[in-house]
Chain A
Amino acid sequence: MNTEGGHLDAAAADTLSGRLRRHAERQGDVIALEDVAGRIAYRDLVRLVAGVARRLREAGVTPEACVGLTVRDEIDHLLTVLALLELGARQVVLASHAPATARLDLASRVGVTHVVGDIDSDRIAGASFIDVGALSVRASDDRPPAWSPTRPDAGALLLTGSGTTGRVKLLCFTQRDLAAQASHPPVDPRGGRLLQMASAEHNNAKRMRLYALHAGGTCVLRSGASLTAHGLCAALRPTWLELATVHAVALVAACRVEGRLPESTNVRVGGSRVPESLRRAIVEHATPRLHVSYGATEVGAVGVAAPSMHDTPDCVGRPMPGVEVEVRDEHGRPAAPGEPGDVRIRAPGMARTYVGDPEATARHFRDGWFVPGDVGSWTADGRLCIHGRRDDMMIMNGMNIHPFEVKRALEAHPQVAAAAAFPLASDVHGEIPVAAVELGPGATATAAALVAWARERLGARAPRRVFVVDAFPRNAAGKVLRNALAQALGVHVPPRAAGLPEDAR
């Protein structure tokens, strides 16, 4: 156990809280957080975090609490995350862009006791509300950091994964898990300046920032700046610019007009498959220092293709140190180089279960391995290639969306008799979820009303277009033939989804 003002014991030393304190002692002048408005050095960061932790305690947050975060500002968000880690309380993002019903559902699933929010509408029934303004997150605190006991093996960070049963999957990581994951980051943050284009409210973007702080690097933050990635690179000179494919497409467009990125900027693209055409465009118009990564919320970073590796389609590099990857053929044997098979992964700090979902746990966590449902292969020299998914998961801008959750949300509408969901192939967003419905007798619901209905329940995971059809094509057993349905509607599905599974009815 740590004591106020004392030295860290071995167990706490490798937690994120412990590492921040060590950085403050050894490299206090190094910048931890920076945006266009200012900088926070590690020495000041630990004092700010300690002040926020103290005020959270005063507001009634104990290590047994579960705190929902609806905090939009990047620096306020990160300081609150770090303070909660120091307190040892569990935390989960109730994203500001999610519908109120989705935030309420997630809060009730994990037992949120407190919500830290920006505005009154961030309140959740049954949870104490703490206005982020009352935490005086940026206030200078002259008192020495009160070093509270950490709980390295207690659940600390709840992250949402994809939804396969109509509800998002939940993962719970301890401080020790996060520290272990930080040992295999997709890029080495030491001495670097990392700019994530995705918000800190996004699971993996938040984790990348935490990894950078664990290593003593500098997080460069957008913090509401209206600048594009190109403009931010010019203003803040990150050494690493980390993007989803949608950001990468926008970056290429900007670079065509405004010129290439600064020589010092490396680009990492991840979150979903990065097509060869996009890789070529980035190299041609933005920078030759392109890295393409592969990973999962469940295991963290798995591999990164270096700039020299893009001549091999779908290459995501060699597994990171400490990460084990196997590709198994249809008989469960190791696949030969070039032979596609099912990927499974073991990594330090990986999840072992989904919270409250034994069915999904049994499907994806087997014999100590995480089985993501991806199809991959090895090159002869040991590089991993990821070709797509075994199942029919849709991935839009790095967000996993299962057709079943879309189908279930639409079939909850009182006028919908049946629904089917499928991906629309997009060079910009990867895959866009769309759906078709059969209406019940006498129903008058319009496509636009059904889109709005789904958006209210699924938020960003909602179908962006709904087709109302007279009757689905079905096989003799009554199963919906989604591939035929997509073709009849003129929807171009991605090649890997051309054989969409039939929908069980």
Chain B
Amino acid sequence: MNEREIREVVVQGLEAGAVPGINRIEVRAAFLAGTSELPFAEFALDSLAQVELCIAIEAGLRIALSPADLRAYTSAGELVRALAAMRDA
């Protein structure tokens, strides 16, 4: 699975959590292209959205994270790179 596909999994998780803004085409396109980081501080990632993101990651990548684990990352881009490293490990 390449980085683009991991980004798609993360986008699906953010959509499932109804994270405001993720449905905007330009926001999604920039993130999928790797030109945007999507800092979590700029998104309302509430507890439900965190759970949904973890579920999407586990369903899509078979990597089990809890919502508390997400606090180690400041942006969706940083999370994607960490997930890629976990899959390679």
Using a CB–CB cutoff of 8 Å, the interface residues on chain A facing chain B are: 97, 197, 199, 226, 228, 246, 249-251, 253-254, 396-397, 424, 426-429, 432, 434, 448, 451-452, 455, 462, 464-465
A431 to chain B: closest CB distance in Å? 11
Which one of B12, B47, B60 has the greatest number of beta carbons of chain A within 10 Å?
B47
Q: Is B58 a contact of A451 with CB atoms below 8 Å?
A: no
Which one of B15, B48, B51, B65 has the greatest number of beta carbons of chain A within 10 Å?
B51
Q: Which residues of A contact B48 (CB under 8 A)?
A: 97, 199
Q: Is B55 a contact of A432 with CB atoms below 8 Å?
A: yes
28 CB-based A-B contacts, threshold 8 Å? A97-B18, A197-B47, A226-B46, A228-B68, A246-B51, A246-B54, A249-B68, A250-B66, A251-B68, A253-B68, A254-B68, A396-B55, A424-B59, A426-B55, A426-B64, A427-B64, A428-B54, A428-B65, A428-B66, A429-B51, A429-B54, A429-B55, A432-B58, A432-B59, A455-B16, A464-B12, A464-B56, A464-B60
Q: Which residues of A contact B46 (CB under 8 A)?
A: 226
With CB as the reference atom, state the residue of chain B lying closest to A434. Answer: B59
With CB as the reference atom, state the residue of chain A lying closest to B18. Answer: A97
Cβ-closest 3 pairs across A and B: A253-B68, A464-B59, A465-B59
Q: Is B66 a contact of A249 with CB atoms below 8 Å?
A: yes
> Cβ of B34 < 8 Å from any Cβ of A?
no
A494 to chain B: closest CB distance in Å? 13
Q: Is A448 a contact of B16 with CB atoms below 8 Å?
A: no
Q: Is B55 a contact of A253 with CB atoms below 8 Å?
A: no
Q: Is B67 a contact of A246 with CB atoms below 8 Å?
A: yes
Contact partner of A428 (CB less than 8 A), chosen from B15, B47, B58, B60, is: B58
With CB as the reference atom, state the residue of chain A lying closest to B51. Answer: A246
Question: Complex: how many Å from CA A310 to CA B18?
Answer: 37
Given contacts A226-B46, A429-B51, 12 further A-B contacts (CB under 8 A): A199-B48, A246-B66, A249-B66, A251-B68, A429-B58, A432-B55, A434-B59, A451-B12, A455-B15, A464-B12, A465-B59, A465-B60
> Cβ of B8 < 8 Å from any Cβ of A?
yes
Q: Is B58 a contact of A250 with CB atoms below 8 Å?
A: no
Q: Which residues of B contact A251 (CB under 8 A)?
A: 68
Q: Which residues of B contact A397 (CB under 8 A)?
A: 51
Q: Which residues of A contact B26 (CB under 8 A)?
A: none
A47 to chain B: closest CB distance in Å? 31
B6 to chain A: closest CB distance in Å? 14
With CB as the reference atom, state the residue of chain B lying closest to A254. Answer: B68
Q: Which residues of A contact B55 (CB under 8 A)?
A: 396, 426, 429, 432, 464
Question: Complex: how many Å from CA A391 to CA B34?
Answer: 44
Q: Is A253 a contact of B66 with CB atoms below 8 Å?
A: yes
Q: Which residues of B contact A427 (CB under 8 A)?
A: 64
> Cβ of B69 < 8 Å from any Cβ of A?
yes
Q: Which residues of A contact B60 (CB under 8 A)?
A: 464-465
Which one of A226, A397, A465 has the greatest number of beta carbons of chain B within 10 Å?
A465
Question: Complex: how many Å from CA A464 to CA B56?
Answer: 6
B18 to chain A: closest CB distance in Å? 7
Question: Complex: how many Å from CA A134 to CA B67?
Answer: 36
Question: Complex: how many Å from CA A429 to CA B56?
Answer: 11
B7 to chain A: closest CB distance in Å? 12
Q: Is B15 a contact of A452 with CB atoms below 8 Å?
A: yes
Question: Complex: how many Å from CA A420 to CA B64?
Answer: 24
Q: Is B69 a contact of A253 with CB atoms below 8 Å?
A: yes
Q: Which residues of B contact A465 (CB under 8 A)?
A: 59-60
B62 to chain A: closest CB distance in Å? 8
Question: Complex: how many Å from CA A492 to CA B56?
Answer: 15
Known interface pairs A97-B18, A448-B8, A451-B12. Does A250 touch B68 (Cβ–Cβ under 8 Å)?
yes
Question: Complex: how many Å from CA A397 to CA B18?
Answer: 18
Q: Which residues of A contact B59 (CB under 8 A)?
A: 424, 432, 434, 464-465
